[in-house]
Structure 1
Amino acid sequence: MRIVIAGGHGKIAQHLERLLAARGDDAVALIRNPDHADELARLGATPVTFDLESGTSEDLVGILAGADAVVFAAGAGAGSGAARKRTVDRDGAILLADAAEKAGVRRYVIVSAINAERGGAGIEDEVMAAYMEAKKEADDDLAARDLDWTIVRPGALTDAPGTGRVRLAHKTGSGEVPREDVARVLLAMLDEPGTARVTAELVSGDTAIGDAVAALVH
């Protein structure tokens, strides 16, 4: 498979790129900073410089040509303000969807956030409210499209080693999950056509990832 990953230098993306490369797939990592190219190439990814905030969907179409799927794993990151939550977490996801439609790439998997359906309602912190609102709007936009989309809403992300065991359901309740396990779930969902048009929350749990994905769609 040829998978194009937006936010290619992020920690979840790097785990996914490593997993894809290990089984012989082509992981195309979209990065804003070309200085990260060598690092990602060592993981087995194909780095391509593209800025989600300044590029256009027309610019991106050529990069997506021939891809089997796209994954949106980008984010403005810690320390960024409310404005960049909108331009990256929301507008970047929409830009990728626009380009996927134009390039004829139907499969789109997005990394969202647990409780994103609530948006920023009731959140006092301005930046966190903007982040959750951006996630909600990105998810809503994607769900309204005629694409084979999957929305993954992980709980609090950690850098602990993955366990390969999760709780994956339409509603899981709050919890943490290692970024490595998020990447493993993304890979399993890319492999399972039945996860198209499914939204699921993800936290650590007791069920093997393959079984959790199978249970979600059957």
Structure 2
Amino acid sequence: MTRVAIVGAHGKVAQQLMRILYDRGDEFVGVVRNDEHGEDVFRLGGEGALLDIEAASAEQLAVPFAGCDVVVFSAGAGPGSGVERKRTVDYAGSVKSVQAAIIAGVRRFIQVSAWGVDNPVAEDADEQWAAYVAAKRDADAVLRQSGLDWTILRPGALTYDEGTGRVRLGPTVPRGSIARADVAALIAACMDEPHSIGKQWEVIEGETPIAEAVRDA
């Protein structure tokens, strides 16, 4: 049985992941910002930890991480949240989570990033989009240098479609989309596959079963 800490547990990918973990018999603790979201984690079979990752210290965040085998960072400020919060949530929240994992002695860290964030941003790009790309890119760079057993997943455009269980996965893949359910299934598959440690993959909908894609990538 694996115990998983999920940062950003009220997000749609995280909720799909919690359903998978529950069905597998794994334990999970979801870091959320308010009591209502904590109740949602409880209803999905886990424990809620009430912490605002923008305000909490790494030491405070390490408390719910203690005793976990894996940290999954899937938090994001969300669309329309403003430029500043892209930096305080998508970047600083990830960096703090990395620091907290080190403090808590959790070596395995899986981060949900975004497709194409290493590519140059167009000069006329929306300010919030540019801030989002920079935050994800910089957070990934910090994680890669952390010394943790990391995996970085960079999905294409997220959809609410039913998952197909099949993906196209690699260091780079064409622009595309992927169901949130398939991203959650991919996170779970990476937990099971040591080969995924130290890998940064882009992923979109494809033809290869997820477990096979992870093994072969």
User: Normalising TM by the smaller chain, what interval?
Assistant: over 0.9
Tell me how far 1:157 sits from its aligned partner: 0.4
CA 193–123 in structure 1, closer or farther in 2 if over 3 Å, else same: farther
| Aligned-partner residue type, residue 107 of structure 1 | R
Runs of 4+ with deviation above 3 angstroms? 119-123
Where structure 1 has 5 or more consecutive residues not aligned to the other structure, the ranges are none
Q: Which runs of 5+ in 2 are unaligned?
A: none
Name the counterpart of 2:39.
Answer: 38
Report the Cα distance in structure 1 between the residues aligned to 2:212 and 2:194, rounded to whole angstroms. 15
After superposition, what is the alpha-carbon deviation per residue over 1:40-84, rounded to whole angstroms, capped at 9, x for unaligned?
Answer: 211112111111000001111221111101000000012210100
Distance 1:35 1:102, change over 3 A: same
Distance across 2 between alignment mates of 1:91 and 1:121: 24
Q: What's the % identity of the aligned pairs? A: 46
The corresponding residue for 2:179 is 178
CA separation in 2, counterparts of 1:123 and 1:129? 10
Does the aligned pair in 1 maintain the 2:13–2:74 contact within 8 Å?
yes
Matched with 1:162 is 163
Match of 1:76 in 2: 77
Q: Which residue of 1 aligns with 2:95?
A: 94
Looking at structure 1, the residues matched to 67 and 9 of structure 2 have their Cα atoms a distance apart, in angstroms, of 18
TM-score w.r.t. length of structure 2: 0.97
- For 1:9-30, what per-residue CA distance to the aligned partner results, in whole angstroms no more than 9, with x for missing partners? 0000000011001111111110
**1:104-139 Cα distance to aligned partner (Å, 9 max, x none):** 111000000001123646452100000000000000
**How far apart are 1:173 and its partner, in Å?**
0.8
Query: TM-score, length-normalised on structure 1?
Result: 0.96
RMSD: 1.1
Alpha-carbon spacing, 1:33–1:120, altered in 2? closer, same or farther (3 Å): farther
Alignment check: 8 A CA contact 1:10 1:74 kept: yes
- Residue by residue over 1:142-164, the C-alpha shift from the partner in whole angstroms, topping out at 9 and shown as x without a partner, is 00111100000000000111010
8 Å CA contact 1:123, 1:129 repeated in 2: no
Q: Are the aligned partners of 1:32 and 1:49 in contact in 2 as well (CA < 8 Å)? A: yes
